[in-house]
């Protein structure tokens, strides 16, 4: 289910470890108010058990792309295809938006994530890249 401001109440009940941290109303509001952002959730018996986020972005020399930022599934629901379905839903959303490319990154040691993402239809094989980060928190 795609979450927007009209149905964000579904995020009142979230299974453990779906998100890295508790959902903050101010962050959620800012996320949902930007039409380039996408949040898709999997719900079981009224509780969010999986989520995936992405955002559409543009370059001055390239067509629109979608970056799949995060996929999280609560441990009790892992290895049941939810991560694959959530990722596939974001790829479909990218297509609906006219994006020419969707992509994500995961850690080389995260074998479960690699298996999940490789199982999404039409996924190209993984490519190695280097990640540089800047931590602005002191």
For the beta sheet containing 47-59, the strands, ordered from the edge strand earlier in sequence to the opposite edge, are: 37-44, 47-59, 62-73, 101-103
Where do the domains of the chain lie? 8-118
Give me 101's structure tokens: 């490319």
pLDDT digits (tens, 9 = 90+) for 55-70: 999 999 999 999 999 9
pLDDT at 58: 93
Q: Are strands 101-103 and 62-73 parallel, antiparallel or unpaired?
A: parallel
pLDDT digits (tens, 9 = 90+) for 107-120: 888 888 888 888 89
Query: Per residue of the chain (138 residues), what is the pLDDT tens digit?
Result: 999 999 999 999 999 999 999 999 999 999 999 999 999 999 999 999 999 999 999 999 999 999 999 999 999 999 999 999 999 999 999 999 999 999 998 888 888 888 888 889 888 888 888 888 888 887
pTM of model > 0.85 = yes
Which residues have CB under 8 Å from 65's CB, separation 6+? Answer: 56, 57, 58, 59, 94, 99, 100, 101, 102, 103
pLDDT at 31: 97
The CATH number of domain 8-118 is 3.30.420.10: no
pLDDT at 11: 97
């Amino acid at each position: 289910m795609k979450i927007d401001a009209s149905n964000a109440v579904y995020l009142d009940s979230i299974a453990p470890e779906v998100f890295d941290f508790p959902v903050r109303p101010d962050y959620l509001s800012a996320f949902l108010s930007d039409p380039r952002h996408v949040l898709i959730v999997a719900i079981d018996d009224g509780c969010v058990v999986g989520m995936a986020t992405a955002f559409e972005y543009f370059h001055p020399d390239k067509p629109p792309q979608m970056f799949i930022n995060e996929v999280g599934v609560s441990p009790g629901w892992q290895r049941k295809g939810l991560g694959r379905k959530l990722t596939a839903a974001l790829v479909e959303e990218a297509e609906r938006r006219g994006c020419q490319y969707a992509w994500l990154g995961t850690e080389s040691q995260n074998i479960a994530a690699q298996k999940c993402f490789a199982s999404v239809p039409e996924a190209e094989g993984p490519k190695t890249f280097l990640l540089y980060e800047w931590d602005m928190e002191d």
